[in-house]
Amino acid sequence: MTIAKKLAAIAENEQKVFDAGKQSEYDRFWDSAQNFGNRVGYICSFAGYCWNDDTYNPKYPITATENSNYLFWNARITNTKVPIYVSTTGSNNSNTFASCSYLVTIPLLVAAEKTTFYSSFNGCTAMENITFEGTIGNAISFNNSSKLTNKSVQSIIDHLKDLTGANTQTLTLHANVGANLTDEQKASVTAKNWTLAY
Amino acid sequence: MKSETITQRILTADDGMRLTNGESVVTTVVLPVEADASVWSEITEEKAQEILKKEEESNV
C-alpha cells in the first residue's frame, strides 16, 4: 500500500478510530469504577454537583447492596439511568438520593425487606417517576416530591410489605400527591398496616 | 367478586397546625386500625417550619 493510500485510509477511518478510542476509555473508566459490575459498596460514589447527565453514564447496574449511604447526594443528574440495588443491611443506606434536586426519574429501584430509607429522598423536589422492585419494609418518605406521579405512588404501594400483625410503618408523601390518591390506594396502604401521611 | 372492609382512622391538623411523629411533618394521617395514634401530635406551623428547616439544612 502506498503512503498516499495509507493516509487516505486513515482519513476515511478517522471518526471510527476516534469513536473506538472513546469507547475504550469509557469501558476502562467504568469497568474500574464499578469493578466490572461486581462492586457492592457505593458510599458517596456519585455525590456532589460534578456528577451530571454528561459525567454520569454507568456501564453496569448500581449494585449498592452493601452500602448506599449518600450514593447520589447532591448530584445534578436527572435520571439514574440503570437499575439501582440499594443496601440490604438495614443500616447503610441513608440519604441515598438526598438533595438530588435535579432528579426526575429513577427507572428501577430494587429494595429488600431490611432496607431502610432514612432521608433517602429528602430534597428530591423534581422527582416524578420511580419504579420499585422487591420489598419496602421500613418507613419511607417522599415529602419533598410534589411532582411524583400517581403511577409512581402505585409502584410504591404495590411493594409495601404486608405488616399485618407487626408494627406499622409510615409512608409519607407530599401534601399535593397524597391529596390526589384514590380511596382505593389509601385503603391498599392501610390494609397492609402502613400509616399514610401527607 | 372480592369485597373487603378496611377500617381507617384519619387525623387532620387544625388550621395553622401540623401533625408530626417526630420524623414526618404533615397535615393528614391515615392510620390502619391497629396503629397507635398517640405517636402523632399537633404542632404549630411555626414549629413545623423549624423542624423542616433543620431537615433541609442537614441535607445541604
Distance, CA of B38 to CA of B21 (rounded, Å): 9
Please provide the size of chain B in residues. 60
Residue B38 contacts A where some CB pair is shorter than 8 Å: no
DSSP per position, A100-126: -TT--EEEEEEE-TT---TTTTTT-TT
Helix, strand, or coil here: A52? Answer: strand
**Alpha-carbon dihedral angle through residues A160, A169, A119, A108, given to the nearest 10 degrees:** 0
Between B26, B56, B58, which is nearest A175 by CB?
B26
With CB atoms and an 8 Å threshold, state whether A143 touches B35: no
**Which H or E run contains A158?**
helix A150-158
Residue B56, C-beta contacts closer than 8 angstroms, at least 6 positions apart: A122, A123
With CB atoms and an 8 Å threshold, state whether A119 touches B26: no
Residues of chain A positioned with their CB less than 8 A from the CB of B31: 168, 190, 195
Distance, CA of B46 to CA of B43 (rounded, Å): 8
Higher pLDDT pick, A189 / B58: A189
Residue B49 contacts A where some CB pair is shorter than 8 Å: no
Tell me, what's the pLDDT at A164? Answer: 94
Q: Return the residue of A nearest to B22 by Cα.
A: A170
CB-based contact A53:A77 (threshold 8 Å): yes
In 3D space, the residue among A98, A96, A101, A100 whose CA is nearest the CA of residue A84 turns out to be: A96
Q: How many CB pairs under 8 A join A and B?
A: 75
Tell me, what's the pLDDT at A62? Answer: 97
pLDDT digits over B16-55, tens only?
999 999 889 999 999 999 899 999 999 999 999 998 888 8
Residue A98 contacts B where some CB pair is shorter than 8 Å: yes
Q: Return the residue of B nearest to A97 by Cα.
A: B59
Sites in chain A below the pLDDT cut of 70? none
Grid cell, residue A28, equals 476502562
Distance, CA of B19 to CA of A184 (rounded, Å): 23
Complex-level ipTM:
0.90
The DSSP 8-state label assigned to residue A176 in this structure reads: H
With CB atoms and an 8 Å threshold, state whether B28 touches A175: yes
pTM for the whole structure: 0.91
With CB atoms and an 8 Å threshold, state whether A187 touches B4: yes
Tell me, what's the pLDDT at A70? Answer: 96
Hey, what amino acid is at A114?
A: K
Tell me, what's the pLDDT at A155? Answer: 98
Measuring CA to CA, how many Å separate A116 from each of A139, A174, A176, B44?
Answer: 7, 19, 24, 29
